[in-house]
Amino acid sequence: MSEYKPCMLRLRTETHQMLRDAVEKSAHRSMSALADEILHLALARLAETQETRSGIDRMIDAAKG
């Protein structure tokens, strides 16, 4: 089974152009590969930030209670 799942994303015109510009300067072979890497890294950071924020909120609540 493939590690990748085909999907279609609707991107803003500006985002699409930024992705096109970035792929020209990168070692990625396609916009899809670059977009996948960008999304993967950004979503991992977002999840990490949310976990940290959640942990801080729990610590604050514990300190209050």
Domain residues of the chain, as ranges?
A: 29-65
pLDDT in tens, 18-39: 999 999 999 999 999 999 999 9
* Cα angle, residue 39 at apex, residues 49 and 37 outer, rounded to 5°: 120
Rounded distance between C-alpha atoms, residue 8 and residue 32, angstroms: 10
Q: What is the pLDDT of residue 55?
A: 85
pLDDT at 65 over 80: no
Alpha-carbon torsion (56, 58, 59, 63), positive or negative: positive
**pTM as predicted:** 0.74
> What is the mean pLDDT of the segment spanning 4-24?
95
